[in-house]
Amino acid sequence: MRKLLIDLFGLDRLYKIRKSRVVNYLPRLRQATRAYNYRYGQILRWSVDSREDTNYTYALTDDSLLYLAHTVAVVSGVSPATVQAYFREVQTDDALRDYVLEKTRTSSYKRVADLRVEFGRRLGWYALVRIMKPGVVIETGVDKGLGAVLLCSALLRNRAEGSPGRYYGTDIAPKAGYLLDGIYKEVGQVLYGDSITSLKAFDQPIDLFINDSDHSATYELEEYKVVLPKLTPNGVLLSDNAHVASSLAQLSLEVGRKFVYYPEVPKDHWYPGAGIGFSFL
């Protein structure tokens, strides 16, 4: 009877296949997890060394910086070498670095902020402002204000070169943006309240718009719809949430704008990285 069942249903072959899969299970498991196991060490180090619980700060890998330079070059129409020069400009800005460290050290938010200055993908923001020389930059979602003070440092350099501009941040949290102070506050301010409400009331042409507020696709899209009629002819829309939502890519398709996406790769950090979406003409 057993032989008959084996002949009829191929049970012997099925048994051999299952046995083979069990034998190969552990090697295949090791092969698949090898690409991720190093993250556990990074997580353990970060859990001990870091105080951050959101908006993590980290450097980017050398390759990731190179890709960011090429991406910004495509958006802005300059050479990648020009973009890299602006990266180096801010990376060697000791006054900015010392300022951020001191403000962090003396802030009531120091319990949730690390004493380090790493801008990650925001270096692309900085280079774009230095290249575009915008009159108005808006960032929705300010948090500590690291992006705000970085953008304002670019605007201060533009002003010194004869191209003044101003930064406006929006945030619903009444204490957001503690880093935006001192000389950087000369060219920037935070508008407190709901971002869409603030954007609707804003009555100036916008050259560069950066979405980094509520990370829901519908809210993000609503911000773009409010901003688009106020955007200057060569204005740029930037999504700092493009790794999560395709709102800007879809909108760009509908209104005839170009769109490129850049995924960052953090250096020596467990976080896999976020992504910037650029919408431009």
**Three-state SS for 268?**
coil
Closest by alpha carbon to 64, among 280, 269, 210? 269
pLDDT in tens, the chain (281 residues): 555 444 545 556 655 556 556 557 677 778 888 888 889 889 999 999 999 988 899 999 999 999 999 999 999 999 999 999 999 999 999 999 999 999 999 988 788 888 989 999 999 999 999 999 999 999 999 999 999 999 999 999 999 999 999 999 999 999 899 999 999 999 999 999 999 999 999 999 999 999 999 889 999 999 999 999 999 999 999 999 899 999 999 999 999 999 999 999 999 999 999 999 999 99
Yes or no: say if 89 and 111 are a contact pair by the CB < 8 Å rule.
no
Q: What are the structural domains of the chain?
A: 1-35 (no CATH), 52-280 (3.40.50.150)
Yes or no: say if 104 and 110 are a contact pair by the CB < 8 Å rule.
yes
The helix (run of H) or strand (run of E) holding residue 235 is: strand 231-239
Give dist(CA 196, CA 200) in Å, integer.
Answer: 6
Yes or no: say if 123 and 90 are a contact pair by the CB < 8 Å rule.
yes
Closest by alpha carbon to 147, among 168, 174, 133, 163? 168
pLDDT score at 23: 59
Give dist(CA 222, CA 218) in Å, integer.
Answer: 6
Distance from the Cα of residue 267 to its chain's centroid: 14
Break the chain down into helix, strand, coil percent, rounded to 5.
55, 15, 30
Q: How far is CA 256 from CA 89, 137, 279, in A?
A: 34, 22, 10
83-90: long-range contacts at Cβ-Cβ below 8 A with a sequence spacing of 24 or more? 83/127, 83/131, 86/126, 86/127, 86/130, 86/131, 87/123, 87/126, 87/127, 89/130, 89/157, 90/119, 90/123, 90/126, 90/150, 90/153, 90/154
pLDDT score at 67: 98
Distance from the Cα of residue 103 to its chain's centroid: 22
